[in-house]
Amino acid sequence: MEQRYESSIKEVERMNTSELRSNFLVESLFTKGKANFVYSHYDRMVMGGIIPTSKVVNLSNYEALKSKFFLERREMGIVNIGGKGTIVADGKSYTMATLSCLYLGKGTKKVSFKSNLKNNQAKYFLFSAPAHVSFPNTLYTKEKAQPFALGASETSNHRTIYKYIHGDGIKSCQVVMGLTVLEKGSVWNTMPAHTHDRRSEVYLYFDVPKNHGVMHFMGQPQETRHLWIQNNQAIISPPWSIHAGSGTSSYSFIWAMAGENQDFSDMDFVALKDIR
C-alpha cells in the first residue's frame, strides 16, 4: 500500500509537473491478478484497483492501516468498471454487473473478488474511509442509482450522473460515491468548477479511448494547475482544490469523497471569469 502525504497550498504553488504528478496522480492502479492500494492522508482516504484473472483475489490487511483486518475501522465502496464479476463478503455473494456498486460496512472481515468471464474480466475500483458506525452491506445496479442527465450538448458537457452512496441512496458513515458518463460529443465535466473545504475527493477516469486523454484541472481557483490523464488513472483532490476536466473524447469517471459531511450539494462554485 503506497502512502501519499498532504501538500500545503504554498507547496503546490511551487511544484513542477513531475512533482504535481507524483503527489496527486495515481498512474498505475490496475494490475491483472493482484490488488493495488494507495493511502492518501487527505481525510485518510484509500483507493484501490483489482482485476481478478483465473484466481480469486482476497482483500488483504496492510501494515499502514494498523488494524486487525482491512475494514475493522473502515467502510468501502466498490464500483465494477469491467465485465461481470462476483464479490463474496463474509460468506454472502454479490453479482457485480458492469457499473454496479457494492458498499461494505465497518466490521466486514473477509472479502474476495472474482471475474465471471474469462475474456471480459471484472475491474473493481475500491474507495475506503474511516468509519465509526456500521451500516449494512448493500448492492446497487446502475439502474437502481436513478441516473439523471445534466448539462447540454451546446456546452459540451451533456452527461449522466449515477449517485450510489449518498444521503438518499446507499447509507454510509462518511463515504459518498458515484460516477458520471459523458455523452458522445461532450468532453467537459464538473463545470462550473467548485471546491468543498469539508471533503477530499478522488477521481478515477475510465473509458478513455485509446490514443486519447483528459486534461484535469486542479489547484486553488486563482492558482490552477493541470495534469494530463490517461485511461484508468486517478487523481487525489484536496479540499481546497478545484477538480474539473476536459477530454479529447467523451469518457467516464468515478467520484468518491470523504470528510465532514455527506451533503452532495455542499459545493463552493467558482465563476468562470474568476478562475486563473
Average pLDDT, the chain: 95
In the chain, the domains with their CATH numbers are 2-274 (2.60.120.10)
- What local confidence, expressed as pLDDT, does residue 224 receive? 94
Band of pLDDT at residue 130, cut at 50, 70 and 90: very high
The span from the CA of 39 to the CA of 1, in Å, is 7
pTM flag (> 0.85): yes
The span from the CA of 117 to the CA of 137, in Å, is 24
- What local confidence, expressed as pLDDT, does residue 60 receive? 96
168-187 pLDDT, tens digit each? 999 999 999 999 999 999 99
- What local confidence, expressed as pLDDT, does residue 196 receive? 87
